[in-house]
A = this chain, B = another copy of it.
Amino acid sequence: MTEQKYVHGYGKEDSERLVKQSEALEGILHAEEDFPAGTQILEAGCGVGAQTVILAHRFPEAEILSVDISETYLAQAEERVRSFGYTNVTFRHADLASTDLPPESADHIFVCFVLEHIPEPEAALANLYRALRPGGSVTVIEGDHGSAIFHPESPAARHVVDCLIELQYRSGGDGNIGRRLYPLLTDVGFAEVIVTPAPVYVDASHPDLVEGFTEKIFIAMVEASREAAFRAGLSDPARWGEGIAALRRTMEPDGTLYYSFFKANAVK
């Protein structure tokens, strides 16, 4: 098994960032869903289990199968879920780019922050479509880094965000995938595709978001690309430092940040 190259890395700090991200975003990303007892939920690309614990908590009577391409992440996810005492999750290795999953087995498929890292999201979605029972539903949540706007706007801040987007493209992903969810799902054959933006707006009147989103999620996500940006020759320590400082400038009392996630719901 080969672990896919992952722009955000597999380090401990990164795992913690991904978990914090999920916790902070729970209210934004999880809203109306409800599933009856016995529902077979497939979490495709569970990563370190950040969303898994949320699913396990929200749907205690569902049977959740969480898969990932990374054995490292699977082990962390399993440990996290066990540490919370949840017993409704099974973990399994699977590559979404292959047909590892049993056909028509899931009642609902949940995909969060996964497609943005996959070279062929169409193929992954086709495999997930195959794994979904007729009449089943899917939820896909992705960010869109190109949606980020901030005040003060500056070329320096834009530079580091562009580095992240460019690195994600070079590794075969698409950091701007949020805006593409509608065509991606309809092309694969999903029906009743409804895409809803989930924007996060931050200013000084929301100090929890200044820290919890701007600093700990958005800037931390950009920061995680630092070394890769240097290796790729896209930036250097001076430019990078200037860019991160410019992003941190948006956390001051007169600064703002706006970023949008996109959530797609569809059925088979």
Assess whether A91 is interfacial by the CB under 8 Å rule: no
In the complex, the count of this chain's copies comes to 2
Contact: B179 with A204, CB < 8 Å? no
Assess whether A195 is interfacial by the CB under 8 Å rule: yes
Identify A146's interface contact among B149, B180, B187, B255, CB under 8 A.
B149
Inside 8 A of A171's CB, which chain B residues have their CB? none
Inside 8 A of A151's CB, which chain B residues have their CB? 179-180, 183
Inside 8 A of A193's CB, which chain B residues have their CB? 205
**A194→B151 CA distance, assembly (Å):** 16
Contact: A254 with B203, CB < 8 Å? no
Inside 8 A of A196's CB, which chain B residues have their CB? 201
Contact: B256 with A147, CB < 8 Å? no
Interface range for A: 20 to 34
Contact: B201 with A197, CB < 8 Å? yes
Assess whether A218 is interfacial by the CB under 8 Å rule: no
Contact: B186 with A254, CB < 8 Å? yes
Assess whether A176 is interfacial by the CB under 8 Å rule: yes
Inside 8 A of A197's CB, which chain B residues have their CB? 199, 201, 258
| 8 A Cβ contacts from A14-69 to B | none
Assess whether A214 is interfacial by the CB under 8 Å rule: no
Contact with B along A187-218 (1 / 0, CB 8 A): 10000011111010101110000000000000
**A176→B153 CA distance, assembly (Å):** 9
Inside 8 A of A113's CB, which chain B residues have their CB? none
Smallest CB gap from A201: residue in B: B197
| 8 A Cβ contacts from A146-182 to B | 146-147, 149-151, 153, 176, 179-180, 182
Interface centre among A153, A186, A258 (most CB of B within 10 A): A258
**A253→B183 CA distance, assembly (Å):** 8
Assess whether A137 is interfacial by the CB under 8 Å rule: no
CB distance from A189 to the nearest CB of B (A): 14
Inside 8 A of A255's CB, which chain B residues have their CB? 183
Contact: B204 with A182, CB < 8 Å? yes
Assess whether A242 is interfacial by the CB under 8 Å rule: no
Contact: A256 with B149, CB < 8 Å? no
Contact: B260 with A179, CB < 8 Å? no
**A146→B153 CA distance, assembly (Å):** 10
**A149→B196 CA distance, assembly (Å):** 15
Q: List 18 A-B contacts (CB under 8 A).
A: A144-B149, A144-B258, A147-B258, A149-B179, A151-B179, A151-B183, A153-B176, A182-B204, A182-B254, A183-B253, A183-B256, A186-B204, A187-B254, A195-B203, A197-B201, A199-B199, A199-B260, A201-B262
